[in-house]
Structure 1
């Protein structure tokens, strides 16, 4: 590519609107991860506890293993994704090569997690089952992390414009919600019961979970292909004025000296904890506390994600007028109201009708909070896109480790199955406390005037320097 062509590409990136094709393809890029995550968080504990008959603690340990593997993988992938290795495979792009590796890992391992243990018998020791599933879970989580980090790190590289980054984040979240809705529609179609039947989840449903997994994964694979074929990374030659000016690297120690890194880490961690605890324990709350039938495990989460999808649409416009912090607090308030309502919710009217209002509040709150937290993280990166994946890796490390420990502790202390209100209290205090912590961190974070101006000033200087 000639210098003039490089200049034209840079000026286009800085001054022009992104093509709709880029927005669409970027949104499709995380769908495979999203459908797997929806099943992982919504049905993993249900599957291992009610179908495979693992104990609460054993199911929690498997989820913890997955979260720890994910937590370790994220900074590793982030660090190496920021490097420009002189390697044949890196000609596809330093982000996209990790995206490809992660996608393959997800495809070849996730179906085995929701299938019977191959070669195992009824008398096979529990520890063998645990090791068997742990191997597939660890590889799956490494792949999931590689896709997540490389996909997130592309946002500040696709465009330097703050409003376009917000739109990409909103589209990413919208695609996540759409993917989750698709999962619950498939699950509802597979798990639904005939009218008048009081069927609940049992070991007989093992085949149904395989159908759900393969159905949604086929859709996710198609979306990943669309992303890979349409999203291009801007390849910049080393030792040029362009690389020196536009790709300023943040030294590792400088990153850790930034106080906002830790505050933003708390915001992102708390937001993900709010979302994931809601996903994980909503199904168990419906079954154990409210005694709802099997089809409700798909229908109620489906309502929550429809509300999330609707709530995600105006987030960009709201953020533009009131700012990220106020938008985050708005989402947190909706989520906290839903958590409080759960604590006082009971009776036939609540189970039949009002539960859908509650999950709509939770869904709207999680959507707004997640988009805002991703925007805040993007602000932390600013124009230092060559450290973007590493910073996202740090955020994700905190998120996954905290989620895994929290879920395992919740499962560990659930010793008595006669305590049917246990998961009600989890949905109230654990999820509500998580989003409250995130709100506190958002309030403490100081508005940096340099965030927006830094992006614009360094963007202008790149264009001017290149032209001269």
Structure 2
């Protein structure tokens, strides 16, 4: 019997709160503290760094605890952690986008101390919700097609959530703007109400969907249908971005560290995330301070980027069929679009500022193509070694979050002024041209090193755990082989989840 429709739809909305808050976090945290709060640029960068590092450090801890706790209030262990995460996000996130309570006139360093705990609590809650929601998929259904479908519906709500954030913010400018406000090019303290309303709206919407998730979705009772050792391995896979499902081969974390392709693809993935996130963070500042476009473009331009990126992600299926799953070739295509967008951005000024919409279309096409193909390359790298796939995903996620935090801190440190001054106008042109363009060039060089080899094919010296000969020490391997056919229909799910997400 298949998973009921209400369970599928209930599951699909369980990550909406995370999607909404993450969209606001990456798109508007820096611009809010820079232009609205007139906050010290270095301290704003440190807030972003604290959030990224916290997320990276919390992920494996929460995954391990989620596997080894019994849950509370009859919710099940996954939904229990999801509820904890939801409460943490809802209670902490609004404080990040509101002025310091009783200390609005305090120096920036004291405000930093005020905001930092809310950022850490938010990232803890965000990671708790993400990991528990992803690890619930294999618990809900054993059918491979249903798992892929759950990820597909989940991704659809991610798209809708991002579109909702930018659309709502645009409407807030229309509703709260007056004649004098519409002629103002830069955001300022008078726009604090718009950000505050945006955050309250997205948190309220997210809570509605989270409540629906908890009322509709029933977490199944786990049955010990595998041996204890296999369950230990299988449960451990949920301690990262995605949950691998079964023990199948013999690569360990130490084996990956001896594999050259692991570092090559990690470099490609890290550069891809840097390209996407740095562009998303500094695009609102570029259009308002460099191009002097109306303030509502901080909502319109990210909306255009996301729509074009969504179109590119849909087009990846026929592109992959044409290129024969040559993910590196598709990645080069994304690099071409991305570098073209960076070059176009460099030559824009106030006289031809409206051309920015063409540049951001290329930015969305390039970033989405690079991201989808780098995820596919990671999946190809893991191949059938799903027993250590969680380590690979976790390593990629860690480099992503840490590098983004460091990059933002460096950009903020190199800012020509502490808060805001005329020197800002040309600075963001340089940031959006040379940082994404530079990491795209590094990604291209890394791709060139991958051309001589096939992704996922490893030499014998890279497979540290070799299958013992029949009858030798390792008779247990025979029993392992006897068990694996029962699990064979679950092997490909790891690849399907990563490609969908």
Cα shift at 1:29 = 3.8
Who is 1:313 aligned against?
314
Who is 2:478 aligned against?
none
Decide which of 44, 49, 73 is 2:29's aligned counterpart: 44
Who is 1:4 aligned against?
none
Cα shift at 1:154 = 6.2
Q: 1:208 to 1:65 in 2, by over 3 A?
A: same
Per the normalisation by structure 2, the TM-score is 0.76
Gaps spanning 5+ residues in structure 2: where?
Answer: 235-244, 459-480, 491-501
Who is 2:280 aligned against?
279
Gaps spanning 5+ residues in structure 1: where?
Answer: 1-8, 13-17, 452-456
Who is 1:346 aligned against?
349
Who is 2:111 aligned against?
129
Q: Deviations over 1:93-135 (max 9, x none)?
A: 665544443222211111110112123242x343321111001
2:340 counterpart of 1:337: yes
Equivalents in 1 of 2:166, 2:328: separation in Å? 31
Who is 1:15 aligned against?
none
Q: 1:440 to 1:86 in 2, by over 3 A?
A: same
SS of residue in 2 equivalent to 1:421: helix
Decide which of 78, 81, 84 is 1:101's aligned counterpart: 84
Equivalents in 2 of 1:151, 1:40: separation in Å? 20
Cα contact 1:78–1:393 (8 A) shared by 2: no
Equivalents in 2 of 1:333, 1:45: separation in Å? 28
Equivalents in 1 of 2:154, 2:167: separation in Å? 20
Who is 2:227 aligned against?
239
Q: 1:281 to 1:375 in 2, by over 3 A?
A: same
SS of residue in 1 equivalent to 2:422: coil
2:450 counterpart of 1:447: no
Q: 1:464 to 1:207 in 2, by over 3 A?
A: closer
Q: 1:387 to 1:88 in 2, by over 3 A?
A: farther
Cα contact 2:71–2:78 (8 A) shared by 1: no
Who is 1:3 aligned against?
none
Cα shift at 1:144 = 1.9
Equivalents in 2 of 1:414, 1:218: separation in Å? 35
SS of residue in 1 equivalent to 2:99: coil
Q: 1:68 to 1:437 in 2, by over 3 A?
A: same
Higher relative contact order (CA 8 A, sep 6+): 1
Residues 179-190 of structure 1 aligned to structure 2 (within 5 Å)? 179-190=161-172
Residues 147-186 of structure 1 aligned to structure 2 (within 5 Å)? 147-151=129-133, 174-186=156-168
Q: 1:427 to 1:167 in 2, by over 3 A?
A: farther
Who is 1:216 aligned against?
202
Q: 1:437 to 1:335 in 2, by over 3 A?
A: same
Decide which of 430, 436, 441 is 1:431's aligned counterpart: 436
Cα contact 2:270–2:403 (8 A) shared by 1: yes
Who is 2:366 aligned against?
365
Who is 2:422 aligned against?
418
Cα shift at 1:210 = 1.2
Q: 1:20 to 1:277 in 2, by over 3 A?
A: farther
Equivalents in 2 of 1:312, 1:158: separation in Å? 27
In the alignment of these two chains, the number of paired residues is: 441
